[in-house]
A and B are shown apart, each in its own frame.
Chain A
Amino acid sequence: MAFPSSGLFVPTFVDVLDTTQLALDLDLETHRVALFTNSVTGADLTTDTAYGVGAWASNEVANGSGYTTGGAALTGTTWQHVSGGTVRFDATDSSWTTASFTARGCLIYADALAGNNAICAITFGADYTATSGTFSVVWNASGIFTVDFVP
């Protein structure tokens, strides 16, 4: 039982590129970032599909104390070709005020899709606890994730 390593959810990106043609738009402002504890059990980014399903159906930070289950909207999202073969997914930093909770990682998912398809999971590598303060996730200067399409 532990939050998994960071990565992209394979089933989602398979569905985007195969005959399913999942309409994942990374520029949308409706994606959400949900916080989870380190009690997540059995998560597997190669098979897990969505927020609220399987390992991601429990062990989210509890509702209340500055957090609303389902997570916060991921705003300022961009999916841009930055240089060479690299495309970057980025967003405005996420934060929760008057927060009193502990989280170990987050799940970004497509709330606009009926399936709440999971996009990526990011482990924080340690528990972070806010007490009547602000819980902030500062996205990396390299973005939330990058894909280098040209080796």
Chain B
Amino acid sequence: MNDFQARIGVGQPSRAFLARQGTSRRRPVVVEEGRRAGKVGGFHTDHWDGRVDATVLAPAVNVTTTTQEA
């Protein structure tokens, strides 16, 4: 990517619609590894004023037990 492309935001999410005050957009974050890979694990929220919120939807750890026959 050259300097011009970087400056105009090539490869970055479009922010054109965020020019209106008070608007925001939610971008899903896809899990990259493990059994949940490929699923949405949370999201980023882009606000019109440049703020970005990050929201993690944390997975639970489930410990289970089993019985072993003799």
Contact = CB atoms under 8 A, between A and B. Distances in A.
A145 B63 contact: yes
Interface in A128-151: 128-151
Interface string A94-122: 00000100010010000000000000101
Contacts of B34: 5, 123, 125
Given A122-B58, A140-B60, A150-B65, A131 B52 contact: yes
B53 A134 contact: yes
Interface in B18-47: 29-34, 36-37, 41-42, 44-45, 47
Interface residues of B, number: 31
A144 B57 CA distance: 11
A120 B66 contact: no
A128 B32 contact: no
Contact of A140 (B30, B58, B64, B66): B58
A148 B62 contact: yes
A26 to B, nearest CB: 13
Contact of A151 (B37, B42, B67): B67
B53 A124 contact: no
5 contacts: A126-B30, A126-B41, A128-B56, A133-B51, A138-B56
Given A128-B29, A129-B52, A136-B56, 16 more contacts: A7-B61, A99-B54, A106-B58, A122-B58, A125-B33, A125-B41, A128-B42, A129-B44, A130-B54, A133-B45, A133-B53, A140-B57, A145-B61, A145-B62, A146-B62, A148-B64
Interface of A: 5-8, 85, 99, 103, 106, 120, 122-126, 128-151
